[in-house]
Structure 1
Amino acid sequence: MSPTGWPMTLTAIFLAVAGPVATYLLWNRVRGPRPVRAVSRLAMIGVSQALAILLFGVVVNNYYGLYASWDDLLGDTGSPGVIIHDDKIVAGGVPTPGLDLPSGSRSGGDSRGGRGPVVPVVPRDRPAGPDQRFDRYGDDALVTSFTGPKSGLGGQNDVMVWLPPQYNDPAYADTNFPVVMLFPGYPGTPQTWFGNMAGQKELARLVQAKASTPFVLAAVNISPVKGVNTDCTDIPDGPQVATYIAEDVRSMLERTFRVTTDRSGWGMMGYSEGGLCAGKLLVQYPQDFAAAVQMSGDVRPGGYVNRYGPDFANRNSTLWMLRNHKPHQPVALLAAASAEDASGTVLTDALSLQSAAPDVVDVLKKEHGSHNTEVWKQWLPQAYGWLSEHLDPVKPQP
């Protein structure tokens, strides 16, 4: 029996009801010394509570689609999948250790940012203004509370940054580093990227193995207005979340850290709702970002954006934009999806993105695993390797 679906739900409901009923019927039938009777009755209460918790867990799993199978629940989600580029499978999709990344040869990448004809890079001046103060967070991250001057949005500990070891290496003292902005799901926090996702630890391992460029990682809160999910959208007469992320936060990072200002060195990655944000901001801000990875992300905005009409929703749909207003600048999108994702359309949507723009979109297709952290963590080596092929490399100064 699958952990999802009505058979499991009905079984859990039956057990959750049967437990208290059995406790009631057997309460006065327990025999033996008083300590034995007390332990037996406590055990019956405990079983009843465990069955109620089981029902709650089944309902939550059905609603959010966290685990598609018992193997998935136990952490066995199978292989990470393969990257499909231009209807052809690129075996593995993980750069071989020792390669001088990015080569751009394994998935059609362009080391000057994105994919497509190389266009002249328009120099972007580093924004003027004071550095933002960051405090230590844990062993290896930095955190700040930042309010964007254009959007007026922000909150406590809404932006977190991880600097690769090379950042403080004297050999890289004059190097400007590429940046990958990281987006959590909704509801979620930036801390998840440096906690359960351990995104910085995986990148550090890959950099040491020469399988990824040493990016600066910047995790950002995608819902700075509590309880409001805008799908990273500028809402008319409302929260300007796209401006907050793509303009306010980016400019603050450029002022504060030794990072590149060229679009060819800026990428994004997110899971679930954060995956939708990464994809849509890439096609909406191609002048600022060259590549993005969306993990289990939708290709259309949700209910809040739809309130403002179909035209507005379309302009905030990654799929519609790629079909109707594909960016002129070279951009690249990796859409990672599992065939067992509970939404049922994530893989189909990812393939639709590739069909709409095969010169832009690669698909990382996985057969097993649902909508959960273990699946997204499993994709990180391929995601960082793929971004290394499509964003500017980091090299020490001669």
Structure 2
Amino acid sequence: MGLTSNKVLALAVLLAVLFIVGTIWLWPRLARRSWKAVAGRVGLLLATQVAVFASVGLAANQAFGFYATWADLFGQETAPGVVVDHDPAKGAGPVKVVGTQTVNVPGGGRPSVGGQIQKIEIGGQVSKIGSPAYVYLPPEYFQPQYKDRKFPASVVLTGYPGTAEALIKGLHYPQTAHKQAADGKMQPMILVMMRPTVAPPRDTECVDVPGGPQTETFFAKDLPRAISSHYRVGGKGQNWGVIGDSTGGYCALKLAMHHPATYGAGAGLSAYYKAPIDVTTGDLFHGDKELERHADLDWYLDHMPPPKTSLLVTTSKKGEGNYRDTLKFIDKVKAPTRVSSITLESGGHNFNTWRREIPATLEWISGRLSAD
């Protein structure tokens, strides 16, 4: 059973309850002062605490999507992605569908009613990076009257470490997009959901690391081309948006600013504006000062020509550490760049806050993209 399985969580909760009940039941029998009784009490307390902490940890992981597998949790997920070049003449492509699942909405069992989520493997032909992703296809994608229509698309990125599954189970992007479109608040849109960590376990901050993973190239060139070659999505900036939270939010803003011809809009939920350097990132720039400056979004707004793209930033007056930085970022934006914002009175750096911002974010980005 997988780390994010409901069965694993239920088993952990059951064990915790049994240990609590067992401790209460057996405590009077272990009240003596013998070494066996003392050892029994210590053992019961330790087992109960371990069971309770395991239950809480598993529940938190399901809610926030920190780790996807047991190997990921124990640091065994270290192998970099490997890309196999495909020959288009033989019918192969850079996208491989490896599974499908329904959307958790009424009538979700039928793609023409609920849409469909496809699990895919993306091969980066320029960056030589391979990465998994989930693609949400709206119901209209499967309806006969739309069989020749192209759809706008948005890349949706998690924070770090994050899991793509959390975008579905924790942040409910497919369900929200389905409801917003059904209510007429946004146009039907394809979502490409993944984490920005395409070279796990390293946090590359969507940077083309000298001598290392070419993450920005993957997102700016390989990903849109791969998806457009497999799904009915246009290949222009007006067809593509990018959304992210935390690290993913920084990546979303940077990709839209650096590559406006690829991404016509970028939304950063609880984003920061400069790539950090820490134990998870390693040396991102290897002394390349120009690369480092370009990764600082405030510097970019001050010194580079304003990109023709639309940006959305979100923050909270209480609970978010990026409030003042976000106000400063907004003040620096100059035409033709357009900037919008969502400011909550209070809200932490967490899923609950982002779930409050996602409906408006999807509506905003849909209004800035076109299908053709």
**TM-score, with structure 2 as normaliser:** 0.70
1:134 is aligned to 97
Aligned equivalent of 2:291 = 312
Preserved contact between residue 184 and residue 221 of structure 1 (Cα < 8 Å) = yes
Letter in 2 for 1:233: V
1:149 aligns to what? 125
Q: 1:307 to 1:369 in 2, by over 3 A?
A: farther
Question: Partner amino acid for 1:49?
Answer: Q
Written as runs of structure 1 = structure 2, the 5 A alignment for 1:1-398 is 41=41, 45=45, 49=49, 53=53, 130-131=92-93, 132-139=95-102, 140-155=116-131, 158-303=132-277, 304-305=283-284, 307-328=286-307, 330-341=308-319, 344=321, 346-357=322-333, 359=335, 360-392=338-370
Whole-Å Cα distance in 2 between the matches of residues 152 and 47 of structure 1? 47
Could you say if the C-alpha distance between residues 154 and 351 of structure 1 is closer, same or farther in structure 2, counting changes exceeding 3 Å?
same
Cα 1:130–1:254 shift into 2, 3 Å: farther
The amino acid that maps onto 1:152 is: K
- Counterpart Cα distance in 2 of 1:31 and 1:281: 64
1:280 match: secondary structure: helix
- Residues 130 and 255, structure 1, Cα contact 8 Å, conserved in 2: no
- The root-mean-square deviation of aligned C-alpha atoms, in Å, is 3.5
Q: Is the 8 A contact 1:213 1:393 kept in 2?
A: no
Amino acid at match of 2:360: Q
Q: Distance in 2 between matches of 1:30 and 1:221?
A: 50
Q: Matched residue of 2:118: which SS? A: strand
Instruction: Provide, for residues 73-100 of structure 1, a one-character-per-residue CA deviation record: whole Å limited to 9, x for no partner.
Output: xxxxxxxxxxxxxxxxxxxxxxxxxxxx
Aligned length: 294
Deviation at 1:383, TM superposition (A): 0.1
CA separation of 1:46 and 1:307: change in aligned 2, threshold 3 A = same
Identity in percent: 25
SS in 2 for 1:302: coil
TM-score (norm 1): 0.66
CA distance in 2, matches of 1:28, 1:194: 47
Distance 1:50 1:130, change over 3 A: closer
Q: Distance in 2 between matches of 1:368 and 1:385?
A: 22
Residue 43 of structure 1 and its aligned partner are, at CA, apart by 9.8
1:207/1:213 contact within 8 Å kept: yes
Q: Check 1:350–1:29 CA distance in 2 against 1; reply closer, same or farther (3 A cut).
A: same
1:243-291: per-residue Cα shift (whole Å, max 9, x none)?
Answer: 1111111101110011112211110000111001000011110111110
The letter of the residue matching 1:321 is Y
CA distance in 2, matches of 1:133, 1:306: 32
Match of 1:335, SS? strand
Cα distance between partner residues in 1 of 2:51 and 2:166: 30
Deviation at 1:221, TM superposition (A): 3.4
Whether the 8 Å contact between 1:220 and 1:245 is mirrored in structure 2 is: no
1:152 positional shift: 0.8
Shift of 1:30: 6.8
Q: Conserved in 1, the CA contact under 8 Å of 2:157 and 2:193?
A: yes
* Counterpart-to-counterpart distance in 1, 2:141 and 2:53: 47
Cα distance in 2 between the residues matched to 1:143 and 1:179:
16
3-state SS of 1:206 partner:
helix
- CA positional deviation for 1:28: 11
Structure 1 ranges of 4+ moved more than 6 A: 27-30
CA drift at 1:182: 0.7
